[in-house]
Structure 1
Amino acid sequence: MADNLIDYARWRGDLDFAERPFNDVDALVLATLSYIDLVGIVPNEAAGGTVGVGAALGELLERSGGDVTPYVRSLATIDAGYLKAVAESRRFGRLRIGRYVDVMDHDRAVQFAAVEVLLPPGSVMGCEGGVRYVSFRGTDLTLAGWREDFMLSFEVTGAQRLAANYLSRALEASATAGEPLMAGGHSKGGNLVSYAVAAMPKTLADHLLRCYSFDGPGLDGRVVERDARDAIGDRFVRYQPAYSVIGQLFDRADEPRTYVASTGSGMLQHDPLTWRVLPSGFVLTGGLDPDAAAFDAALDEWMGPVDMGERERFTNEFFDILSAGGPELTDVTSREGLPKVMTAANGASDQTKRLVWKLVECVVAKQAERTSDVVRRAYEGVVQSARNAASGLAVSLPRRQSHAE
């Protein structure tokens, strides 16, 4: 029987790591912990110390009154049921967590958060002592965070620099303690892992046991020359859902990765809570979904080679429009925010307007494939309008990189 991370936490909940050693699904569970707002619950780097994962999540559940939505900094469907299953399990609830960092700077478009989890001795096969795991947060619900994702196409971002500094400090501490370290992140968190590993001092590389990118964008070779695989080889592990869009961005086609089955539809497979798992690991699929491959090919066609200045101009224009609705992603689609966004778009370049319509076409068309004929007919007018508006589009975003570029 295959299900999701909630079921995994329940299946493996009564088995600690001494009984069943750490595996890649465990790495994803720990990667999701950085999506939780743990301010005032988990000690920060300056304060030092740790708390139990079960105690930390238990306090958050008590504070939230059962509705953890305000504490989840992600579009992932992390809910009280998932956090309760993790908190109450022997496997995860007894782990220690600390070194929490949470940075948000709307003016500079910097969104960064990380936390460190301590695994007890004997948890990881081949390691007699303890092991540390750094979890980097992916993109949250702020437009500053989403703007920063686009900034990856033309510069090294503030979050990447913070991630590199955080990982170096964590590696130095782990080396002093004689404990190897792992790192992982979902979405932008996976990108931060790759950048931080590539940027770390070479003298610290031997202390890295394994690093994970869960559907994280790659690193554009025209912005940075090296990624994590260049630094640590096959100790850098990539997982993507069958319908991967985010994980295909800035992709190096020759870089190995493993595809996971998902219960989600289309781009909703990016949500790690839709990934299918067994008690022993992920449910694997043969490769990239043909629809996702077609989407990826379309992105390659749109994302023609342009200079860094043009990428920056496009990003600023696009997100200035979205910001008219408010600082959060949910503001953009709200009843109050959407008219403001549409008004702001009136003065935008035709290229930016067409990007919006082209994305609407792709998303709506994908959903229409999975609806009844009645609903599909209702969508047809919208899809056709979007297609007409986007005719001849060449979008100024970075195209896929070959490893040789």
Structure 2
Amino acid sequence: MANLLDYLDWRGDLTLAQAPFNEVDNLILSELSYLDFGGIVPPPGEKGGVPLHQAAEAFFRRYGEAENIDMGVLVPSDIPVMLRRMAACPRFRDMELHCFADWLDNEQAEQFAALTVDTGDGRLYMAFRGTDDTLAGWKEDLHMACMPQVPAQAMAVQYTRQAAKQLPRRKLRLGGHSKGGNLAVYAAVFCTAAVQRRIERIWSNDGPGFHHDLRELPAHRKVADRIMSIVPSSSVVGMLLEHEEDYEVVESSQRGLWQHDGFSWEVLGDHFVRLGSVDRQSRLYDKALHSWVRQMPMEQRERFVEGLFSVLTASGAQTLTDLKEDRLKSAGAMVRAMKDMDKDTRDALFYAVGLLLRTNAQAALEDWQQEGEKKRNAKKKEKRQ
């Protein structure tokens, strides 16, 4: 089945005047925000934009061939390849890139990046980056279970207001993948009423939910009918915390947690291949993790997050790639860090790992039972014939 790269090959020759902006275009621009356009695309506050094909030329001059660019452990390596194809096709090549923002503070666990794209059809797409390879970004994600607002969410609101003011009189589309989807929804809810009126659509592409239920807020109700939440069938990230109840489920060529990769989402024409609902594994994760988080007092949640990242960073690692490249050093440092933490936090870490393992095992057992039942029914049918 086709994916984002196939879409660019097969439909990239159609301009937005010929085929309107769609949900696949949304995910492509969301993925684009994972790239480092610092020094290539002007930051917020600086006027002017850069055509996408020119930004791509500058990007590849800096980083080399698309196939050789390392995006880290979990960020798809197909993104630079996607940029190269976007630069070659009429649909995307002349879109203008504006307001590139990129902020990382390892000490404070803050990670935020965003990009605004003038799509050329009288609209802007504000793309918020999801969690990248940095441990600071992952720590901030977990803080979402402890804090009413994390720094990236506050930055997303500020960014939206500033970019909307800098580029006036155009309709807005907001979107992002993973944490970026959460930021897009949060920014839409908490931006000014004037900016809200300009928002045409908000996309959360397998984005996690919120510490508190935004759906109860009047500001959320004002934009609720413009939110499109898309999750793969085995969604884990998109089912975390309090999430949108109305979501579209799409087919993926991967299994389990790896379905979070947007390049695994199957494309048919100008849309993703739809499924009726998330699968049993996703529902099990949702039920188990919700139950566990709700039962854990807020103070214990905070200790859990701090404990987890004291273990992950014990070797001096700042990215997932660091952990992967020096596994022996990381493993030894983690064991020592686990010994030093208090019993409650250590027990919570073991419980979290055990919870995920049990949920996976339960899903696998149910799949095995279902497959056995199918085979038995097929044999009965053969005998009757």
* TM-score normalised by structure 2 residue count: 0.86
- The equivalent of 1:236 in structure 2 is 227
State the shift of 1:346 in Å: 2.2
> Is 2:304–2:349's contact at 8 Å kept on the other side of the alignment?
no
- The equivalent of 2:150 in structure 1 is 157
Q: Which letter does structure 2 place at the counterpart of 1:212?
A: W
State the shift of 1:287 in Å: 0.7
Q: Distance between the aligned counterparts of 2:278 and 2:336, measured in 1? A: 38
State the shift of 1:356 in Å: 5.6
**1:296 corresponds to which of 262, 286, 300:** 286
Gaps of 5+ in 2: 366-385
Q: Distance between the aligned counterparts of 2:83 and 2:219, measured in 1? A: 30
> Is 1:239–1:259's contact at 8 Å kept on the other side of the alignment?
yes
- The equivalent of 2:101 in structure 1 is 101
Q: Which letter does structure 2 place at the counterpart of 1:138?
A: G
**1:211 corresponds to which of 189, 202, 214:** 202
Q: Distance between the aligned counterparts of 1:227 and 1:73, measured in 2? A: 39
> Is 1:193–1:228's contact at 8 Å kept on the other side of the alignment?
no
Q: Which letter does structure 2 place at the counterpart of 1:361?
A: L
- The equivalent of 1:220 in structure 2 is 211
Q: Counterparts in 2 of 1:295-314, with a 5 A limit?
A: 295-314=285-304
Q: Distance between the aligned counterparts of 2:68 and 2:358, measured in 1? A: 31
Alignment of 1:354 with 2:350, yes or no, is: yes
State the shift of 1:352 in Å: 3.5
Structure 2 SS opposite 1:303: helix
State the shift of 1:230 in Å: 2.4
Q: Distance between the aligned counterparts of 2:191 and 2:163, measured in 1? A: 11
Alignment of 1:173 with 2:166, yes or no, is: yes
- The equivalent of 2:18 in structure 1 is 19
Cα separation, partners in 2 of 1:119 and 1:223, compared to 1, 3 Å = closer
- The equivalent of 1:279 in structure 2 is 269
- The equivalent of 2:239 in structure 1 is 248
Q: Distance between the aligned counterparts of 1:150 and 1:58, measured in 2? A: 36
**1:197 corresponds to which of 188, 192, 196:** 188
Count of aligned pairs between the two proteins: 357
Q: Which letter does structure 1 place at the counterpart of 2:18?
A: E
Q: Deviations over 1:329-361 (max 9, x none)?
A: 223343232221222122233324414642673
State the shift of 1:227 in Å: 8.7
More moved, 280-289 vs 77-86:
77-86
Identity in percent: 34
Q: Which letter does structure 1 place at the counterpart of 2:268?
A: L
- The equivalent of 2:49 in structure 1 is 50
Q: Which letter does structure 2 place at the counterpart of 1:21?
A: P
State the shift of 1:55 in Å: 1.7
Q: Which letter does structure 1 place at the counterpart of 2:38?
A: V
Structure 1 SS opposite 2:253: coil
Q: Distance between the aligned counterparts of 1:266 and 1:228, measured in 2? A: 34
Alignment of 1:339 with 2:332, yes or no, is: yes
> Is 2:232–2:259's contact at 8 Å kept on the other side of the alignment?
yes
Q: Which letter does structure 1 place at the counterpart of 2:154?
A: R
Q: CA RMSD in A?
A: 2.4
Q: Deviations over 1:243-295 (max 9, x none)?
A: 10100011346x21100100111110001011100122111111101122122
Q: Deviations over 1:168-202 (max 9, x none)?
A: 1223334xx32111110000001111111111122
Cα separation, partners in 2 of 1:240 and 1:61, compared to 1, 3 Å = same
Cα separation, partners in 2 of 1:363 and 1:61, compared to 1, 3 Å = farther
Q: Distance between the aligned counterparts of 1:351 and 1:338, measured in 2? A: 18
> Is 2:40–2:58's contact at 8 Å kept on the other side of the alignment?
yes
Q: Deviations over 1:104-136 (max 9, x none)?
A: 011111100001000113xxxxxxxx1011000
State the shift of 1:49 in Å: 1.2
Q: Which letter does structure 1 place at the counterpart of 2:150?
A: T
Q: Which letter does structure 1 place at the counterpart of 2:299?
A: G
State the shift of 1:214 in Å: 0.3
Q: Distance between the aligned counterparts of 1:302 and 1:105, measured in 2? A: 29
- The equivalent of 1:186 in structure 2 is 177
Q: Deviations over 1:140-169 (max 9, x none)?
A: 111100000011112111111100001112
> Is 2:70–2:77's contact at 8 Å kept on the other side of the alignment?
no
- The equivalent of 1:34 in structure 2 is 33
State the shift of 1:228 in Å: 7.1
* TM-score normalised by structure 1 residue count: 0.82
- The equivalent of 1:81 in structure 2 is 81
Q: Deviations over 1:296-351 (max 9, x none)?
A: 22223322333322221211111111111311122334323222122212223332
Q: Distance between the aligned counterparts of 1:59 and 1:6, measured in 2? A: 21
Structure that is richer in helix per residue: 2
Gaps of 5+ in 1: 122-129, 370-405
More moved, 213-222 vs 29-38:
213-222
> Is 2:178–2:206's contact at 8 Å kept on the other side of the alignment?
yes
Structure 2 SS opposite 1:240: strand
- The equivalent of 1:91 in structure 2 is 91
